[in-house]
Chain A
C-alpha cells in the first residue's frame, strides 16, 4: 500500500516562518536561551550564542558569480551544535537538564513572505532507560528518493536505516518538542523493562559485538 496520501497530507502544511533567516536564527537562539534560564537546558546562554549560528551562502565571489547569472537565491543554514554523525558526546552540542543532548541543521531560502524551508535534521540522543537511543526528524530536499517512497518528511526512531512518516514541523516547534517534551513524565514512575525488552537489549548488544 502506498503512503502517498500520508505524505501529501504532511507536506501540504503551510508553515508560517519569518521572511528573513536572521530573524529565524534569533528566534531559535532566544528560545534556547530562555530554556537555559529556566534550567531546562544545561548549556549556558553564552555557549548557546556560540553554538547556534547563521551560515549564509558565501563565499562572496561565488555568490557574485551566481548573481551575475541571476541564480543567487539567498540560501542559509542555521545550525545548533557541531556536525556529529557519529553521535560523539565529546563534540559540542546542546545539553538538556535530564542528560539528553541534541543538535540540528536547517536549510532555508529567503523567498517571498515566508522563508522557504528546504531541509532540516534535528536529532536528540536520550539518556539510558528512555527506551530508544536517539530520535531524528529529517526533512529532505524535494524530489528525494524517499519522497518517491512517500517519505520526504520522516523520523528515525532510534535506527539510522528505518524511517517512519513524520509531520512537517517548524524549527520552533521541533525545538519546543526537544526542550519541553520527550522527557520522562515527572509524575510517572519508571517501569521495569519487560523480559522481552531485556532480551532485546541483550541480543542487540550481542549483534553489535559480532
Chain B
C-alpha cells in the first residue's frame, strides 16, 4: 500500500474542521476500514447536525465514478459525504479526467478504504492535489478511554488512600460514602450495579 501515513481524526474532530471550512469549496477524504465506513458516515452526520442543526448534508453511495457525477448534479446540499469504498482505479481515473464535473459549492468528503485511496493516489493525481491536506484516517471517538480510565482510577486511589477492593466492599456493605468521586470510581471499575442507594 502506498498511502502515506495520514493524521487521525474522530468524526467529531472532522465535523469541527468541516464547519470551519464552511463557505468554501473544499474536498477531503476520510479513510476507514470497509466495515467502519457506515459508522464513520453516521457519526460524521450526527456530529455535524449537533454543531449546527440548520446544516444541510447529503450522503451518496455511488457504485461507480460515473454515478457519482450524476449524484452530485442532483444534490444541492452544503455538505456531501460520498461513500466511495467501491471505487477502483478506473473510477478514480474517470473522476480525475472529468474533475470539473465534481465542482461543488461546499464541503465534499470522500469516505473510502485505505486500498481504494491508494488507487486514487496512483490514478488521479489532480484529484489528489485537490484533497491536499484534508485527508484523515477515521478513529473511533473515545479511542483514549482506557488510558483515561486508568489515570483517573490512579488519582482516586491516591486521593482516598484506598484500593479498588476497599471501595467495592464498602459499596456492597452499604457503607461507601455517596460523594460523586465514589460514583465515578464504581463506574470506572465496571460496578455501576452498586450505585443504587445503600448498594442495592
Contact = CB atoms under 8 A, between A and B. Distances in A.
Contacts of B152: 55, 79, 82-83
Secondary structure of the B contact surface, majority rule: helix
Given A62-B191, A75-B192, 6 more contacts: A55-B149, A55-B152, A83-B151, A105-B184, A119-B180, A145-B177
Contact of B148 (A29, A55, A62): A55
Nearest to B12: A49
Give the top 5 A-B pairs by smallest Cβ distance, nearest first: A144-B178, A75-B192, A62-B190, A143-B197, A83-B155
A33 B192 contact: no
B98 interface: no
Secondary structure of the A contact surface, majority rule: mixed
Given A26-B12, A26-B50, A83-B155, A53 B183 contact: no
Given A49-B12, A50-B144, A74-B192, A27 B180 contact: no
A152 B188 CA distance: 22
B78 interface: no
Give the bracket for the number of chain A residues in contact with chain B.
Answer: 35 or more
Interface stretch (A9-17, A94-102, A134-142, A174-182): A134-142
Interface of B: 10, 12-13, 16, 46-47, 50-51, 141-142, 144-145, 148-149, 151-152, 155-156, 159, 177-184, 186-193, 195-198
A71 interface: yes
Interface in A20-63: 23, 26-27, 29-30, 33, 45-46, 49-50, 53-59, 62-63
A76 B197 CA distance: 17
Interface centre among A33, A71, A75, A82 (most CB of B within 10 A): A75
Interface in A121-159: 121, 138-147, 152
A49 B10 contact: yes
A43 to B, nearest CB: 14
Given A85-B155, A141-B183, A53 B178 contact: no
Interface of A: 23, 26-27, 29-30, 33, 45-46, 49-50, 53-59, 62-63, 66, 69, 71-77, 79, 82-85, 105, 107, 109, 118-121, 138-147, 152
Contacts of A53: 142, 144-145, 148
B159 to A, nearest CB: 5
Nearest to B149: A55
A53 B180 CA distance: 17
